[in-house]
Structures are given as structure tokens and as C-alpha cells.
Structure 1
Amino acid sequence: MTAGVEFESAVLDEHLRKALSDRPIAHLCLNGVDVLLGGVRPRLVIICGEPGAGKTTLAHQLADGLAQDGRPVLFYSFEIAAPPLVGKSLVRLSEGTLDVASLAGNDAIKCADQAQRAAERYRNEIAPRIAIIERPSDPVEIGALVGICERETGIKPAVFVDYVQLLPTQADQMAADERLAIKASVAGLRRIVNSHEVPVFAISSINRTSYGKAVAGLDSLGGSSAVEYASDQIVYLAVDGKGDERRENLAKPQRPVTATLLKNRYGATGSVRLVFDAEHACFREAER
């Protein structure tokens, strides 16, 4: 039996409620990025850029910040294992007394006291509200866990996916065509945002032909134009400079980076200047 047409008058009150209450549910720890995005809302935000621009570090830092502020976070990491991610969190929490190399290298024993203090901060401030999920999970499974998390905590979680091109799909026939697989993945993330009304931040690769560009176009997104069409906002991270200057900046432990909002479905675009401190696994806003 075919269902009848549901005209807007039947659901208008609910749609009006949502339209008139479209305000941030949280704010990001980097004020410039928060202003650029208009706060954290139930939207699909794509973070893209070439290797070395700090995509995973930025996403992970924002995730930690939301967890510290009391927001449940589901961080899907399909490329980096949980222990190195936690290690980067400890470096950030040490407030400059630790760096990535010392934590993982021969100086680890010398840094034991600082690492222990950072670990206690992580245990108390972040760990109770963040889940780092390494197992392959398609959008259907992610959506199911979002529902479980909201029921158990009473709070809508923020979802982070690292990254779109590694999301598995349920349809075996799509495996032979990367574009179809990516299209299915990003459509699944879109459904999570719409049906669960949660923010989803997903990292996307870019095409190799876009490497080295200060600002790439929307056609630089890797694999499928569906990434562009399904997203609400697209943030492009680029190390500053051109040619030799850019290569020199890319080699620095503290890299000048510009985050440019290439697409904003609900407002203006713009950019913010950042510093990617690779040694301390963190971003900070550039001094003006």
C-alpha cells in the first residue's frame, strides 16, 4: 500500500521548532575555528588538506576539547591507532613540558613524572567522555552507536571520522568503484546528521593534483563530488607560502597554516590563520 502525501501542515510545528532553535550546541576549543564554523551544530563538516597540514591533529584536538567541556565524543580512527592518539593528548595536556618525540623516544623515562601528571588529567578530564573506535564501522553501525550513546548519556554526541575514504560500505558491489563507495559513505554520514541531529566532523583526502596549492577548489576533494554536495561546511587546511617558502614552512616544527572555509551552506565563508605545532601535537591561533 502506497503511503499518502504528508503535506507540510502536518509536521509544521516540529519543523518550526527546529528552524527557530538552530543555535550552537557546543563551542570549539579554538575560538577562530569556532567563529569560522558558527559553533558546533548538527552539520556535516569536512576537514580536508594535503599531508602535513595537520588534519588529524586538528580534528583530534577539537574532539578532546569537546570531551573536556562535557560533550560525549565518538572518534572513529581508521588510520592511527588509539595509543598514539592518547599520547598526543598527553602532550597537549602537559602544556609544553612534553613533546611527541620525547614521549615516544629514549627520553620517555626522563619525562615519566610529566607524563603521569598529564595521564591523570586525561583520565579525569577527557577519557570519561571520549571513545576512540578503531574497528571498521560503516555509517549504519556509526548511526547505531550514536543512538546508544545518546540513550546512555542523555546528551547528543559529536562524531569524528578519520577519514571518509576509509569508511567501509555494506554494498559489496561498490568495492570495485571507489567513487561509488565514497558516495555511499558520505551519504550515510549525511543521514546520521539528519536523523540523529548530531554534528559529524569527517576528514577527507584531496587529489594529488591539488597538493601545494594555498587554497584548492571544491573539485580537489578526493574520490567523489558527493563529498562536496553532501557536506554543510568544508574546511581546507593549507601550509602557508608557495614554492620554496612553502616547502620550508612544511619542514618547520611550527608551521603557519590557513584554514579556509570553502563551503558554508548556511552562511559566509572566510579563513583563519593558525600555527600547527607538530612537536606538541596542537594548533593555536596565529598572532595578529
Structure 2
Amino acid sequence: MNAHDLNQPPHSVDAEQAVLGGLLLDNGAWDRIADLLTPADFYLADHRLMFETMRDMFERGEPVDVVTLAARIEARGEAQKVGLGYVATLSTQTPSAANIVRYAGIVTEKRARRDLLAAGHRIAGMASTDGGDAGDAIQEAQALVMALTEGRSAGSEPQAVDDLLPAVLRSIDERFHKAGEFSGVASGYGDLDRLTCGLQPGDLVIVAGRPSMGKTTLAVNIAENVAADGGVALVFSLEMGARQLVERSVCRFGGISTTAVRNGDMRQEDFERLLVAHKRLQGKRLVIDDTPSTSPARMRAKARKVKHRYGRLDLVVIDYLQLMAGDGNTRSEQLGGLTRALKLMARELGAPVVLLSQLNRGLEQRTDKRPVLSDLRESGAIEQDADVVLMVHRPDYYDADSPHTGLAEVLIRKQRMGPLGTVTLCFEGEFSRFHDVDHDALREAKAHAYTASNPRPTRRKGGFDD
């Protein structure tokens, strides 16, 4: 190896030529490498142009040989970049397409090393730049390396139904023998879990609501329930600090007023409740990250760390979508990119990701203020990418005289693998908590409310008795 080689990024001209020449010799070889290579994998610009042109021709079902390829390149106005003579040389220098998959592997391997080298240069540049936070630089470096890993990971191969059936039937049989148990992660709310069978691993679950509906409280309560049940839950809080969230958890488990804690106006019995809350929370694997501005790549890296640390990860909560920054020309495109990335993260981690989202304020103008899917703010992609959409609605927020004081409706507006419906929960904002309702008491309250609003008419004189 000479000094010139050391200054050259990793690449193999011979392998690139062998791939292109093999395709010219045997058009049928395209099916063997179509999902292995992209034009960007080629180091030389003329090779990238040739491969891209070939790909377009194959996808159109056109024959590819020296003459047709040169004609198509000329039609693109790029004949000056690749001459007919060079195209002809490739076809004569390549003996056959028998080893084209091996050649493609060499090309992708060199591309991966070039990407790694480029990432290394960027990381070195970040490390040598004064100013900024070192922790942020480390997170960005991890995101760069993670992106390389994702790029290298092979997608799953197409699978025949015959191959899938045994595993599917075993899964169904296991569920039969575990009748009454939930197939997913239990939220801790019985009625909700009965409708959803728990939060399913790999699902993107949207929890949406207008401000003050309690969506953060509900999502964090679910995370607390998972941790209390022996699981591992990770909460990304882009809005509230970690200490504030823990303070709310203490209030929930101790039954202590959040206002009293905030003001310091506490009684001796509150301190006794603090000890109870401390005991209930201590040792629970509830992890909080309160980085105010982050990305799906950084979240994925942190989630992997948590999973590695504890050996499992049962639930991820993100509060909330609209505080995240994404790529795209419009906010709708940005949010669409974010929800797609978070859905992929859920599948990769094998854990449900609960993503909080705001709703459009337009619903405030309606008579019936129960939210619907079209109220999801700024992006239809949220609805499209979500496996489950839960919307939180509190009737007494809009009507102080509502007979449903202290009750919240969790509206299941979308569920890919289950029914839609409404779950009623008790909401105690003072203690930052939701809990299951007493259905007998709820029925009595509804009956009382109906009687109060529909009084029986006073007895009139007359009839057979008078």
C-alpha cells in the first residue's frame, strides 16, 4: 500500500466494474442484487450514473446492453460523462455474472467503510471544536454511529405463509391457554386493558388531548403502573423536568395534594404519606430523560442503553410530539417523519411507544367537544402511522354542572387489531392520578343525574279517582 492509497477513501473499482459488466452480460442477474445496491454505493461518479440508468431501465422492463445503455445515457444529456467505449469495455472485461452477488457485497462493504470514515471525521471535528456541551456532542456522535448501524442492518426477507403459519398457530394456542391474561403490556387500567389486550410490543400508541385534559398524567401513570408491576418504563419528558415528574409521582402514590406540595403548605400527615410514597416508588425501574430538545435517533440510542442496562424495556413514553424537531419543508412533513421514525423505533425495541400529541383548538368551537381523529394537530401522518389512538376528554372541564364531575373518557378512536370504544376513568387532578371507576357507583350516579334532569310531572287532578 502506497501513500496514494492511504489518501483514497475505501473503494474497489474492479468490483464496481464487475457488477456493471455482469448486468450487461446477464439482465437476469438484476433480480439477485436489486435489493443489495443503490447508486450511492458506487464510488466513481460514472459508475453511479451507469447503475442508476440501468436500474431505471430494469424497472421499466427494458433490455439493457451496451447499445441501449449508451442510448439512454445520451438521452439524459450525460453522454459526456460516460463514453460508449467505456461501456463496451465493461461488457468485454467481465467474464460472467456468476459471482455478481459477491461483487455487490464488496461494493457495499467499501461504501460502509467510507461512511464510517466520514462519520469518524465528523466526530473528530466535534471533539476538537471549542464551545458547546460535550454531552450533546457525545449524543450526536452516538446518533451518527447508530445511523450507520441501521444502514447496515439487513431487512427481513419475504416469508411464505407456509413458513409463518406454525409460529402464528403456536401464538394463538398460547393465548388460548393463557385466557384472561393480556397479550401486551398491561396499562394498569382494567377496562382499557380489556379492550386493547394491553399495549402491544412494537405498537405506536398516540395519547392525544387538549391542554388540561390529563394526557401527560395518564401516560405517566401508565409508565408508573408498568414499573410497579416489575417492568421497565422509560419516559422522555420534553416539557417537564425529571424532578417535577417525580414530585407528581410522589403525590399520586402518597395521596398528597400537588398544590400543597408546590406551596409547602403541608401537614404532618402529609409527611407520613410521603414515606408511604417513597416506599412504593423505591426500587421501581422508572427511568426519566428530560432533555428538552431531542430527536428519534437520540431517543433510540438512550432506549437501547436502558434496555441493555436492565435487560428489558417494556414501555417508552414521549411527552410530546409537537415539541420535537424534524426534517421537512412543512411542519406536517416534519411530524410525519417523526412519527414514522418513532414507529420504527417501537418495532426495533419490541416495546410499545406511547406518544403524546396535541389536538387542534378548533374542537373547542363545537357543541360536542369529544375529539375525533381529524382533530389530531398538524399532520394526518399521525393517524396513519399510529397503531392505536387514545383521546382524553373530561366533560366537567367544559361544563361545571356536568353530572360526570371527576370522570374522564378515554376514547379509543383507532385500534388496528381491536375494537373502538370508550373507557371511563376517575380523574383526580389534585393528586395527579387516574384510577378505575366503581361501575356500580357510576351507574347510580348516572341514574341520579337522569332523574334530576328529568323530574316526574306533578300529579294532576281528575281521572277516575276524582
TM-score in terms of structure 2 length: 0.54
1:246 to 389, 392, 398: 398
1:46 to 196, 206, 213: 206
1:203 aligns to 2:356 (yes or no)? yes
Mean Cα deviation higher: 105-114 or 34-43: 105-114
Amino acid at match of 2:288: I
1:166 aligns to 2:198 (yes or no)? no
Amino acid at match of 1:100: T
Secondary structure of the corresponding residue to residue 65 of structure 1 = helix
Confirm or deny: 8 A CA contact 2:363 2:369 kept in the other structure: no
1:103 aligns to 2:254 (yes or no)? no
Mean Cα deviation higher: 179-188 or 11-20: 11-20
1:130 aligns to 2:290 (yes or no)? no
Cα distance in 2, alignment partners of residues 265 and 114 from structure 1: 42
Amino acid at match of 2:167: R
Amino acid at match of 2:356: I
Confirm or deny: 8 A CA contact 1:88 1:100 kept in the other structure: yes
Mean Cα deviation higher: 28-37 or 229-238: 28-37
1:222 aligns to 2:374 (yes or no)? no
Whose strand fraction is larger, Structure 1's or Structure 2's?
1
1:265 aligns to 2:416 (yes or no)? yes
* 1:58 paired residue number: 218
Secondary structure of the corresponding residue to residue 300 of structure 2 = helix
Q: CA deviation at 1:216?
A: 2.2
Amino acid at match of 1:246: Y
Confirm or deny: 8 A CA contact 1:48 1:237 kept in the other structure: yes
Q: CA deviation at 1:226?
A: 0.4
Mean Cα deviation higher: 115-124 or 72-81: 115-124
CA gap of 1:282–1:184, structure 2 versus 1, over 3 A, is same
Q: CA deviation at 1:109?
A: 6.4
Cα distance in 1, alignment partners of residues 437 and 373 from structure 2: 25
Amino acid at match of 1:255: G
Q: CA deviation at 1:249?
A: 6.2
Cα distance in 1, alignment partners of residues 322 and 169 from structure 2: 32
Q: CA deviation at 1:87?
A: 1.1
Q: CA deviation at 1:183?
A: 0.7
1:157 to 302, 314, 317: 314
Identity of aligned residues (%): 24
CA gap of 1:270–1:104, structure 2 versus 1, over 3 A, is same
CA gap of 1:20–1:236, structure 2 versus 1, over 3 A, is farther
Q: CA deviation at 1:12?
A: 6.7
Confirm or deny: 8 A CA contact 1:182 1:224 kept in the other structure: yes
1:32 to 191, 196, 213: 191
1:187 aligns to 2:340 (yes or no)? yes
Mean Cα deviation higher: 147-156 or 53-62: 147-156
Give deviations 1:224-281, integer Å, cap 9, x for gaps.
Answer: 000000001101111126xxx833169x9x6321111000111111111112110111
Mind listing any 5+ residue stretches in structure 2 that lack a counterpart?
1-32, 37-155, 173-181, 440-466
When the two chains are superposed, the root-mean-square deviation of aligned CA atoms in Å is 2.6
Cα distance in 2, alignment partners of residues 34 and 148 from structure 1: 28
Mind listing any 5+ residue stretches in structure 1 that lack a counterpart?
none
Confirm or deny: 8 A CA contact 1:161 1:202 kept in the other structure: yes
* 1:118 paired residue number: 277
Give deviations 1:145-190, integer Å, cap 9, x for gaps.
Answer: 2223223322233100111111233x3xx3x621111111101111
Confirm or deny: 8 A CA contact 2:206 2:357 kept in the other structure: yes
Runs of 4+ in 1 over 4 A off after TM superposition: 11-16
Cα distance in 1, alignment partners of residues 354 and 195 from structure 2: 14
CA gap of 1:265–1:16, structure 2 versus 1, over 3 A, is farther
* 1:279 paired residue number: 430
Confirm or deny: 8 A CA contact 1:239 1:249 kept in the other structure: no
Cα distance in 1, alignment partners of residues 337 and 370 from structure 2: 27
Cα distance in 2, alignment partners of residues 15 and 210 from structure 1: 45
Cα distance in 2, alignment partners of residues 16 and 210 from structure 1: 47
Question: How many corresponding residue pairs?
Answer: 273
CA gap of 1:184–1:65, structure 2 versus 1, over 3 A, is same
Cα distance in 2, alignment partners of residues 177 and 262 from structure 1: 26
Secondary structure of the corresponding residue to residue 274 of structure 1 = strand
Confirm or deny: 8 A CA contact 2:424 2:437 kept in the other structure: yes
* 2:241 paired residue number: 81
Confirm or deny: 8 A CA contact 2:184 2:197 kept in the other structure: no
CA gap of 1:33–1:209, structure 2 versus 1, over 3 A, is same
CA gap of 1:216–1:113, structure 2 versus 1, over 3 A, is closer
